[in-house]
Amino acid sequence: MGLFERDNCGNMLMVRKPVSGAPGHSPRGEVLVDALDRRVNKRGYLVDGAGNVVTRRGDHVLARGELDPMTEDIPPEIFRALFLPIGGNASRNLNSTKKRAATAKNRAVTTNL
């Protein structure tokens, strides 16, 4: 998640920054950035140049195609696997997170068949 200033209602204040010639930018030639000038999607997740969700260090978390195409939100089952602790002692290392995300995606695919 990017770092944002918030309005009186708690809504994130995102900044549109003009960009020219960069792939994946909006038709108006703008991208959304957080308070530290890092690129974000419209839900506030940090993204790389291709629109993939990344960590603050730039490590890949989710591909752009795994996000909801309309809202750019992470599907609930993947969100739970990535960000909600298992029991009371969740490991926060990236390999564990990727394994949990892959498991959640597989579970979601098999239950939706």
pLDDT attached to residue 104: 60
Interval 53-68 mean pLDDT: 86
In 3-state terms, what secondary structure has residue 90? coil
What whole-number distance in Å separates Cα of residue 60 and Cα of residue 89?
23
Token pair, residue 54, equals 């990344």
Query: Would the pLDDT of 25 be above 60?
Result: no
In 3-state terms, what secondary structure has residue 47? strand
0.85 cut: is pTM over it? no
What whole-number distance in Å separates Cα of residue 46 and Cα of residue 61?
10
Highest mean pLDDT among 34-43, 72-81, 83-92: 34-43
Burial class (CB in 10 A: 0-12, 13-18, 19+), 62: buried
